Structure 1
């Protein structure tokens, strides 16, 4: 995670609320992972290492680019074999945009979905690979 990213700040009568970029990454990661057809998020080497150490990395596979009142989100996912990839990607875009806007008040300009792999069912599972 890039901790040099600017925090989102909102001013209220009695103070300022800051939202760290890592919070937005977690929201996006959770929203994307709950979409049917998403096998899991892809976080590359560092994300896999963190999980092997026993810690769940909820921001795995998510990059956030923040402006003053908006965000651009990149998510990398692994899709389950047999799913219609464009539909899964569209649902990921909708869910991520909706959850971030609902929870933070930021305008999400883009949600870019990167399909990095397909999860093939283990041998003997009900889905067959042709």
Structure 2
């Protein structure tokens, strides 16, 4: 609380910042949504924050990100960079303390050209 009154940052603000920070990391193909996000897609609702869950308090927050990593990148390195990027962005833009950033790798994306080459090699 400041001298002028309360400041409350909405969960969606933290979600958007987290999503942007995550997808900007090299090796992250996209965020991976869960069942609710798939239902929203079917209904035509687009959300830039699918694949992000947050809990926001007055002074701190925790974040869970569900990501798809590009094939060829080290998963532990990408996950670590996402954690660092999210913490930095949230701290700088909101002033909230980030207590944890959980990363859940849901899938690996193989680029189309690489996938075709693999198929040719297997034939």
Match 2:63 to one of 63, 73, 88: 73
| Partner of residue 42, structure 1 | 32
Give the structure, 1 or 2, with the largest relative contact order (CA under 8 Å, sep 6 or more).
2
1:102 matched to 2:92? The reply is: yes
User: Taking structure 2 as the reference length, what is the TM-score of the superposition?
Assistant: 0.83
Between the two proteins, the alignment pairs up a number of residues equal to 118
User: Taking structure 1 as the reference length, what is the TM-score of the superposition?
Assistant: 0.79
After the TM superposition, list the runs of 4 or more consecutive aligned residues in structure 1 that deviate by more than 3 angstroms.
48-56, 126-130
Between structure 1 and structure 2, the one with the greater Rg is 2
Ranges in structure 2 where 5+ consecutive residues have no aligned partner: none
Q: Which protein is richer in helix relative to its size?
A: 2
Q: Which protein is richer in strand relative to its size?
A: 1
| Separation (CA, whole Å) in 2 of partners of 1:53 and 1:101 | 34
CA shift, 1:25, in A, is 0.9
Given that 2:8 and 2:58 are in contact with CA atoms closer than 8 Å, whether structure 1 keeps it comes out as no
